[in-house]
Structures are given as structure tokens and as C-alpha cells.
Structure 1
């Protein structure tokens, strides 16, 4: 069975990162953008990270410029924007594509079928995937689902054994 641990990504500062480093944690994987109507969700994502990080949650942000060019900045500009405007402390990664032939392998996997979650391309920025401690996809949330509305599901995953 494929899990989050089977993937690697490039951090927003250009370093190779094995996502296996998050094994045993609950992760919320989000495709982000700085010039989107949902951009204020960065604050809610940071709130979730601050609230649950010590209990084992990490938020993984993947900037994406595939939707109406809403992430035009460089990685350094994205870091500055997230820090200055939202105090983002959770891990951010280099820009990726989330749909199509050029989709990052992680997103090729995330958009596939996972139990009751059907295979479906990413519809817009700030689509969220909840990953259990075992690295499997436990939930998928549309862009319009506020981060705070996922807190109960995060609580359940944090309470579950790896």
C-alpha cells in the first residue's frame, strides 16, 4: 500500500525532503496560493498547526500556480508573504503542479481513490488532505472548507494509534 512515506519533495528553501520523516504524525497536505480568495485560510492552517503540533500534527503547504496564476511569486517571495501576513511556521514546499501530466507524484497519489474517497483532480487552491499516522489518506476537503472545520477530524486522527 502506498503511503505519504513513499514520496519526497523539495522544501521551499530548495532542500530534498523525505516525506517518510512525517511517519507517525498526522498531516494536513494543502495546495496553497498567495493571491486567491481562499488565501486567508493560511491563518486557519497556522492556527491548527499551533494548536495540535505538539500532539503530532503537521501541516504541509504546497504552493501551486495552476489556478488562474494565483501563485506568481518565487519561493522566497512566498516565504516572505506567508511569514509577514500569516506567521506561517509549518513546513512549506517548492511550487508544484497538482493536476495533469506534470503533477507532482504526491498529488498524483492524493487525487487517486482512497477507500470511500473517489479519485478526483484538484478543483482549486486550498484543497486539503488529512493523512493518518499510518500515512494513508483519511479525508479530503474542498477549498471552501475552513481549516477550523477540520479540527474534529484531526482530533480523531491524533487519538488513533499509528
Structure 2
């Protein structure tokens, strides 16, 4: 279950995902220099619209795809808050594929496999998790956050 995992926040502190129990979650691997980076705007809009109903977005910067998330966790946070006014939780940079991938992402990928491969193929892959901690759907990077709003609302 998703609540069995802990992740590091931007300050490097371990945070149990148990903290988000009972909420609908959208977990996203992100990058600040990617063609999909403008999705931050729609993510923030969804967060503002549904946060008080129990919706959380968990943002995991990832630099595995052509070095598109350079800089420190602090640099990434500053960019996102300045340019996109992001207020949802942002975590420490992680790897989503390979030998050093986050155990959370191993779990997510095994819960909902991709079409051609289990690996994350690019930044802004999204996983939707219900209030019970079950991974419900996986969305490709080219699916804009606004396109999954209906799926989010069904779980709220």
C-alpha cells in the first residue's frame, strides 16, 4: 500500500506517506526544463480547486530525462513558486527508473504498468491514488492535468 512508503521532503527529512491517508493523490515526476513543464499551471489550478475536498498533489522532481531538472531542490522550488505559484507539496529530487529508483516509484510502476514498458518514459507521468491508498490509474506525460479532472472528481 502507498502508505507504507516514506519519501524525503525538500529539506531532506523523511516523510511518511501515511500523512496523506484519506486523501486522493496525484503523484507526478516533474522537471523544470521540460516541454511539459507548463503543466505545473494546470496542476496548481486543480490543487486550488479540489484541495479542500481532500485532494493532494505530490511533486517529485526528476533529473533522469535529459537533465531537465537541474539545480538543487531549493532552486526547483523557487522556480515553481515564482513562475507557476505552486503551493502543493514538492519533495526532494528522485530517480524513477533504474538501480537507484525510489521504492515509491517501484511500487507505483508495478501497480499500474505502462503501455509498452513498466519504466517511466518521461517527466510528468502521473499516478492517481484513491483515498484508500490504491493506485487507480497511470497517465502518460502528454495527458494534461485538466484531462484527468473528471477522474479526480469521481474519487473525491
Give the TM-score category using the shorter length.
over 0.9
Residue of structure 2 aligned with 1:81, choices 69, 79, 82: 79
* TM-aligned CA distance change 1:18 to 1:58, over 3 Å: same
Which residue does 2:143 correspond to in 1? 145
C-alpha distance in 2 between matches for 1:117 and 1:23: 25
Which residue does 1:103 correspond to in 2? 101
Structure-2-length-normalised TM-score:
0.96
* TM-aligned CA distance change 1:21 to 1:35, over 3 Å: same
C-alpha distance in 2 between matches for 1:23 and 1:12: 20
Aligned length: 155
Which residue does 2:49 correspond to in 1? 51
Displacement, 1:15? 2.0
Which residue does 2:37 correspond to in 1? 39
C-alpha distance in 2 between matches for 1:29 and 1:89: 15
Per-residue CA deviations over 1:12-62 (Å, capped at 9, x if unaligned) read 122221101111000000000000000000111111110000000000000
Which residue does 1:132 correspond to in 2? 130
Per-residue CA deviations over 1:132-154 (Å, capped at 9, x if unaligned) read 00001011000000000110000
Which residue does 1:15 correspond to in 2? 13
C-alpha distance in 2 between matches for 1:28 and 1:15: 21
C-alpha distance in 2 between matches for 1:8 and 1:113: 17
The runs of 5 or more residues in structure 2 that have no matched partner are none
Contact 2:111/2:135 (<8 A) preserved: no
The runs of 5 or more residues in structure 1 that have no matched partner are none
Structure-1-length-normalised TM-score:
0.92
Contact 1:131/1:139 (<8 A) preserved: yes
CA-based RMSD: 1.3
After the TM superposition, which segments of 4 or more aligned residues of structure 1 sit over 3 Å from their partners? 116-119
C-alpha distance in 2 between matches for 1:64 and 1:117: 18
Displacement, 1:120? 1.3
Contact 1:117/1:139 (<8 A) preserved: no
